[in-house]
Structure 1
Amino acid sequence: MNTRILGGRYQLQEVIGGGGMAIVYRAVDTLLDRVVAIKMLRSQFVEDEEFVARFRQEAQNAARLSHPNIVNVYDVGVVDKEYYIVMEYVDGQTLKDVIVERAPLPVDEAIQLSAQICAALSHAHEQHIIHRDVKPHNILVNKFGVVKVTDFGIARAVTGNTITDRQATSVLGSVHYFSPEQARGAQTDAKSDIYSLGVVMYEMLTGSLPFSGPSPVSVALKHLREQFVEPRELNKAIPQSVENIILRCMVKAPEGRYDNMAAVKADLEDALKHPNVPKFQPTFDYDDKTIAVPVVGEGFSDVSPELRAARPKRSWRKVAMYIGIVVAAAAALGVGGYAAIVLVTNLVKVQNLNLPSVVGKPAGTAMKSLEAAGFHANQIQEDYEPNTSKPKGIVYDQSPTGNTQVKQTRQITLYISKGAPQVSMPDVTGQPYDQAKQSLVTAGFSAKNITEKVEQSSTVPSGQVISSDPAEGQQVSTDGKIVLTVSQQENTTVPNLLGLSYADAVQALKNANLQVGQVTHNQVTNIPDGQVYYIYPYVEGQTVPAGSSVNLYVADNPQSSSDNSSGSDNATGGNSSSGDNGTGNTTSTSGSAQPHQVSITVQANKGSSTQVKVVIDDANGQNQVVVDQSVHKTTTWQETLYLDPGQQGDVKVYENGKLMNDYPVKG
């Protein structure tokens, strides 16, 4: 394909997938130089407000989720009526591809993959998001075996085996994997996803689907009515404990399934520890008298390839006979005329009504408006979801779109705001501001509500977060305002300490908001007793963080120490304390040695530090390290060598471990 730049940033490379509603491209984010996946709404739907709203809802739902087993959403946008979602690119296969290539999968692998799917869906359910279309096609497995669940929030599709009828009751979900309540067009919840997960596990471990048929309608009816072949009859390697999990997930009555995904995951993790258990027997199942017949018709656009090949040609006589049987059964079961009319909605003319727009109205007012327009209360479903744009109790969306003509029997869904969702404030202290802000956005907060407050600190590095308001762990509305207090580290200047007495130097450091570091006393000639003659690792006038430590080298006058010269380290010019920070200059072992001053200047590399080491050889010994520090700007040192007359001394200067200068000095 011809590459193009989308939104001035994303370079499209190739098509890597797609469905009835969208096409997925692999692309490169030219700003961050990373590979991404871009899901773009098909052009034929850009004028359809309902599809656009669903597409946006998917992006909003996915952006609220942050979990290692869920595909991340990075960005959303629209350019020239091209709606797109920018997502994490997963280098791997769909679980459907894995099943086609290798099913039945080994039991331990199937359990490991299923546990990851459970973890992803459990997180979504905690955020009040129901997937409604759990199937292997929407589950990616990267080359390391990590599961990534995708396609959250798609409530409609028009391809594959996804049932939808925009003129009658909507049934959402892919027909081979959806739950009985989805087949009936009833309200779905977390237990619908649990049923679909059971189907996915069934297919992984047997290589077959529990229900198949010549048309999507026939498969949907089997979900409602028929029992599937139990997994262990198809694969004897499946332990009873694992089959029990599938059987419990796929109980037709939601009440008989697991309470939540966490419970499924717990049983999966325990299944191989206790494989031989009694067979699961459901205590709930549908009562035939309460089953409502789903909407059916010839309006299903596509059938899977394997079913298309097997579909027999049907005569209109057989079609009429099939419809007659179902209608008669519906009447016999007490479903009544309403269900029969819905059942044959494509054959019997149903009155069209004008559906008013109720977006922005309180829920109660919206219900009254719809009833006044001729719709029944039992046709109207209320879906309460967190929403950051509308106050609690206000309708923020509706399906079908308002101010349109729809069938009188059409199910209507009102999406009602529960207000902005509440999430736990994460701990972002110690993070750089930009990283902390991204962490909060990932957690669901709005970037525009995150502000920075600068505060000087001598303990937290510049640019890092000192604290947040609200504090870590507090429950915060995702549209709430957050203030991050960020460190602007206080700096100070190293004062002139050379020539000061030790006491005065300590006071000068205190006045400059600096600390006294290691103190080393050396015998040094020609320097008054108790004076500071060298400091480390900084130099006078250097700007350093407040609170830094400065090492002091203090002279011990030889005259005042002559009585203690015998047998002491100081008599030989050694240090009374040692360390890697250098020794300073020492007095000569010979009384005839004279001091010689050497000035050393090092120019640091621009934009980086230079590690400087200065080593001297004189009458006091060889390889004496007098400077060992990192400098960021041009720095000068004055060093003293003590040499006897005619003696050869030397000063070597190393920069980043390499000898750069060698100063010979003659006494």
Structure 2
Amino acid sequence: MTIKRLGGRYELETVIGGGGMAVVYKALDTLLNRTVAVKMLRAQYAGDEEFVNRFRQEAQSAARLSHPNIVSLYDVGMSEGEYYIVMEYVNGPTLKDVIRERAPLPVPEALDITQQICDALAHAHDHRIIHRDVKPHNILLTQSGQVKVTDFGIARAVTGNTITLQHDTSVLGSVHYFSPEQARGGAASVKSDIYSVGVVLYEMLTKQLPFSGDSPVSVALKHLRDRFVDPRDINPDIPQSVENIILRCLVKRPEARYPDMRAVKADLQTALDNPDVPKFVTPADTTTEETIAIPAIGGTRAAISSSSDGQAADPQPKKRRKWWKSLMWTGVGLAVLCVGALAAYYIVMDLVQVPNVTMPNVIGKTEQQAITILVKDGFSRGQIHTQQAASAQQPQGHVYAQTPPASEQVKPTRDVYLYISTGQAKIQVPDVTGLPAGQAYTTLQNDGFTNIKDVQVQSAEVPAGDVVASNPPANSKVTPNTPITLQVSQGAETSVPDVIGMTLSEATNALKQAHLQLGQVNQIAYPAAPDGSVFNTFPYKPGDQVPAGTTIDLWVATNSGTANNTTGNETGSGGGNAANATNTTNTSLDNLPPDTHVRPVTIRVPDKNGKPIQVLIDKSDAVSSNEAAVNQTITKDSTWTITLYLTPDSQGEIQVYENGKLKQDYPVQY
């Protein structure tokens, strides 16, 4: 296809899906150089206001949601009259593809997928978004098995229990998966999504749908009135506890289903712990409306009666009443009956009607505080149900969600569900022992840990730079914000051998035995040492403790008048092999190693005022220039030891500043 670019940045590549009103493309975001999915409204609907509004509704619904199990929305726009939505690209099959290929799925796998769907929908419901089209086609699976719910094209925001957008009576959704109330044309709610989740779980475990038919209308009617085949009659491997979850989700009356998605997930999590339970008994369906016979008003023109002997009475009364008087009295009687019935109705309703109350907001309260508030507002203790689950939003023991939501107008006789936080969900610390420190950091961050640091430790067994251990240890279960400390190996510690006076070959062997590396070898004329002998080491002196593998430079005296170059495969003047030498000799004293010179510096604070003095001490030597050796404020006499490194042809300098003014400046000779 010809490459098409939207909004100046999204290059469409291939079609990866589509539906009745939109086509989905795989595309490249050229600005961020990442693969995305672009959903474009079909051209024939671009001029249809209803379809454009529905397309915008999908973007608005998705934009309000941010959850690991919901496809992320990146951007929306219009290009050349074409509306599009840019979303996260999921490289994986739909759940429908998986069902077609290998259903019935193993029970643990089906339960895991369903729990992730519940997490996604619970997040949407928390934001007052009802999906209304939950089906395997709208559920994507990543390569790692993570669920991604997508297509909020017909989702709607809700206020209380009322759909707030236009066309509330439209029957939207996929007929095999939608709820009886949707089939009836009623308002969708949280309970509608729960019904659809039950259908999806039914299909995963049986490879069949609860209801099917020759036409959408016949399927919709079955949702309303028919009984489906129990899942265990199709697949006996399904535990009774799991079948019970499906049966409760698929109850035709919404109020008899689970109260919300978190309640569904709670049962899914424990279903395999206690599989042999009594079968769930579906409550009787009382939604069918009975036909009411209404008698006709008015009588026949002639009264029918019977005499005592069974003969017909005289059809002609002795005295005929005027017809209008009968009609008048009939009207008066009916009026009295209507007024009386109406008065009785309002009297009874006034006695039995329960006024609405505003649902209080108890999120963030402790369990006991929340119960106290609810009881004070008129809810009885027996109506308040609690359920515990992990939550990162609230501390342990506090309410993190409630049903009904705050501010909703409800009857104080209805049940209330409080969800109590057990704290953040704990995750397992991965085993990063033996990994390079950088790789260990990445592994921990990918698993959700955010507070990671490292400390250096000595280890003879673990190579330098690799992880020796972690604290908390591997496989521990902790919260994501728990500090993780990595112990990173510095290698084994060793002592610098005393190689002064040795030949280069002897010194090289001594360093090797101490697990140290031979660095630069400097061969210079140095009459103070025997010809061919080592007379200095740098940067460490004999006896210093250093990590194994540290590089040590050597200075070798050559007093025969010729300075020999020493390389990796050459022999030094003292005989032997200098296999690891990395540099050669100069014949000047310029290459002598720096000598250490220590100078004390004292600053006195005058007794008469005791005001603070800002002290800055700079030093210059063979290895640094104007380096700040001291920078601090003092209120009493203080002395510091300043170390300088000097060579025969270099001169050191110490400069002392007090409150920004130079007070001392003196040289230090080699």
TM-score (norm. length: structure 2)? 0.46
Higher relative contact order (CA 8 A, sep 6+): 1
Of structures 1 and 2, the larger Rg is shown by 2
TM-score (norm. length: structure 1)? 0.46
